[in-house]
């Protein structure tokens, strides 16, 4: 006997998969961020920071940092039964920036992580997404010992458009990272809807 779909129970849900980039300056917590939420063992491409790199690799504030991402981080999180995010963490050091174009191919949106002690390190990432019209959200990774600034102060310092969300987060905390990801998906969806509207009208 052949059973119809309804008799076999609910049809399997084919989830929508979206690609999100996690970008920002050197040592701002991108690898930590992806690792905090990934439900698969995150793929990492870490290399030891070496003596030779000391003059260019500025570890002020993250002195305990021993490794750096040389290609990318990769992780996956199921936000809802029908919505899966693939996370791609970018390398932070400028000498690996040639990877960014490759990684941003097909991305729905991006999180730019910032450390308020070294705000200028994220200028390049903000410029990168603005220029390519890739919707992004700014996540302020709150390190201990770093002064807390209101979102508005960060927005002004980075000269962000007013529709760019700024949220405070802790890259080590799963729920906090999840909240940031929900925020970037919502922002990117709204951004694409507005963009489509302006194309068709």
The residues that touch Mg ion, with contacts defined as CB under 5 A, are 30-31, 69
> Nearest-CB residue to Mg ion?
69
How far apart are the C-alpha atoms of 196 and 194, rounded to whole Å? 6
69/116 with CB nearer Mg ion = 69
62/189 with CB nearer Mg ion = 62
Q: Residue 183 binds which one of ligand GTP, Mg ion, none, with CB within 5 to 8 A depending on kind?
A: none
Residue 104 and residue 37 in contact, taking contact as beta carbons nearer than 8 Å? no
Q: Residue 104 binds which one of ligand GTP, Mg ion, none, with CB within 5 to 8 A depending on kind?
A: none
Minimum CB distance to ligand GTP, residue 106 (Å): 22
| Count of helix runs (H) and strand runs (E) in the chain | 5, 8
Q: Residue 32 binds which one of Mg ion, ligand GTP, none, with CB within 5 to 8 A depending on kind?
A: ligand GTP
31/141 with CB nearer Mg ion = 31
Q: Residue 157 binds which one of ligand GTP, Mg ion, none, with CB within 5 to 8 A depending on kind?
A: none
Distance of CA 121 to the CA centre of its chain: 15
25/135 with CB nearer ligand GTP = 25
How far apart are the C-alpha atoms of 76 and 39, rounded to whole Å? 6
26/129 with CB nearer ligand GTP = 26
How far apart are the C-alpha atoms of 89 and 74, rounded to whole Å? 6
Residue 45 and residue 72 in contact, taking contact as beta carbons nearer than 8 Å? yes
CA distances from 120 to 1, 60, 76, 189 (A): 67, 13, 29, 28
* Burial class (CB within 10 angstroms; exposed 0-12, middle 13-18, buried 19+) of 71: middle
Residues of this chain that interact with ligand GTP (CB under 6 A) are 26-32, 62, 64-65, 68-69, 91-92, 141, 143-144, 170-172
Q: Residue 143 binds which one of ligand GTP, Mg ion, none, with CB within 5 to 8 A depending on kind?
A: ligand GTP
């Amino acid at each position: 006997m052949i059973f119809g779909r309804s008799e076999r129970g609910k049809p399997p849900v084919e989830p929508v998969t979206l690609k999100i980039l996690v970008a920002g300056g050197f040592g701002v917590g991108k690898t930590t961020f992806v690792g905090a939420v990934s439900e698969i063992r995150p793929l990492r491409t870490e290399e030891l920071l070496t003596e030779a790199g000391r003059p260019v690799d500025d570890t002020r504030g993250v002195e305990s940092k021993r490794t750096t991402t040389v290609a990318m981080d990769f992780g996956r999180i199921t936000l809802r039964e029908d919505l899966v995010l693939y996370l791609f963490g970018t390398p932070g050091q400028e000498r690996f920036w040639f990877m960014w174009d490759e990684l941003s191919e097909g991305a729905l949106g991006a999180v730019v992580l910032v450390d308020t002690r070294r705000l200028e390190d994220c200028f390049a990432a903000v410029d990168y997404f603005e220029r390519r019209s890739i919707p992004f959200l700014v996540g302020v990774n709150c390190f201990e010992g770093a002064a807390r600034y209101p979102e508005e102060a960060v927005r002004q310092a980075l000269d962000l458009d007013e529709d760019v969300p700024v949220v405070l987060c802790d890259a080590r905390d799963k729920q906090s990272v999840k909240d940031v990801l929900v925020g970037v998906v919502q922002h990117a969806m709204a951004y694409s809807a507005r963009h489509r509207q302006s194309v068709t009208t």
